[in-house]
Amino acid sequence: MTTCFRALCCKGPPPARPEYDLVCIGLTGSGKTSLLSKLCSESPENVVSTTGFSIKAVPFQNAILNVKELGGADNIRKYWSRYYQGSQGVIFVLDSASSEDDLETARNELHSALQHPQLCTLPFLILANHQDKPAARSVQEVKKYFELEPLARGKRWILQPCSLDNMDTLKDSFSQLINLLEEKDQEAVRM
């Protein structure tokens, strides 16, 4: 009886999950808010584009991601860098089915982020969203168009396809990002 009591009552609280502060950027309409809402088990039905920024705590089994989502409108993008401080990783969402002009703008914004002094050493998760649309570009097409191989050489980044219809792929993408964040933490401890 005593053993059973100890097993039930004396375990203590479960170990704390690590928390990581991330910044989520991408053009308006890329799907940032919808993807984050779905990950938080909220209905993406009534989602409104983010004006300014919003913060969501996205729980996973092995970590909690505190995601600062920044609006993607023209008049807001110029202020993105003011919100980068303290970030431990970056989520960049792009609409893989967007127009050539929007894709070019997204490419320029991603290049700026990858080279920004506060972000250039951080892990990046690049989500090629709206893969469920007929005009969606494949991950290989996005990788080539965005020139990710030469630009991101030596950096930690993941490029994944996603859509609201496939939550397993989306969760797997975030699991890979969490692994990169944990590796970065372990390297910092070793130094």
Spatial contact of 88 and 67, defined as CB atoms under 8 Å apart: no
> Does 179 carry a binding-site annotation?
no
The response to whether 131 counts as a known ligand-binding position is: yes
Q: Are 63 and 20 in contact (CB under 8 A)?
A: yes
The verdict on whether residue 72 carries a ligand-binding annotation is yes
Cβ-contact 69, 54 below 8 angstroms: yes
Does 111 belong to an annotated binding site? no
30 is an annotated ligand-binding site residue = yes
Q: Is 89 annotated as a binding residue?
A: no
**CA–CA dist 84, 63 (Å, integer):** 20
How many Å separate Cα 183 from the centre of its chain?
Answer: 16
Please check if 132 is assigned to a binding site.
yes
33 is in an annotated binding site: yes
Annotated binding-site residue? 86: no
- Residue 64 has phi, psi (to 5 degrees) of -120, 125
Annotated ligand binding at 130? The verdict is yes
Q: Which residues are annotated as a binding site for GTP?
A: 26-33, 72, 129-132
Q: Which residues are annotated as a binding site for Mg(2+)?
A: 33, 50
Q: Which residues are annotated as a binding site?
A: 26-33, 50, 72, 129-132
